[in-house]
Amino acid sequence: SRKADILKDELPQADYVFLDVPCTNLGVIRRKPDVKWRVREGDLAVAAATQEAMLARASDMLAPGGTVVYNVCSLEPEENERVVENVAARTSAELVPCRGDEFGDVCDGPYLRTWPHRHGCNGGFAATLRRRR
């Protein structure tokens, strides 16, 4: 395993990447209510652009058949499914659906999503992309 700056460092091809991106942290608002006062207008767009660049880079560095797990502690669609959909549309990566038989009710369509009011934890989002062979 290796910790690196995916936007700056020259990285080798990889079979697996776990990408925990910087975000607005709006999924932790239950535990840290002050988050809502720290997020300013425009922060969401800046975060989403950075996340999209990071996920695109991670997708491009995958070996054929390799997977990247995209993880974010936000519930905002701009930081979640929109980032994944945009990257999947312009790279050689395809979405791997969340499997309810493995993850149960945290599967929300093709994504894994935790809701504070439903799961008693922080809100979060994850998606898996696989590079086409």
Rg of the chain on CA atoms, in Å: 15
Helix (H, G, I), strand (E, B) or coil at 13: coil
Q: How far is CA 38 from CA 32, 47, 76, in A?
A: 11, 14, 16
**Contacts of 89-93 spanning 24+ positions with Cβ under 8 A:** 90/56, 91/56, 91/59, 91/60, 92/59, 92/60, 92/131, 92/132, 93/59, 93/62, 93/68, 93/129, 93/130, 93/131, 93/132
Residues carrying an active site annotation: 73
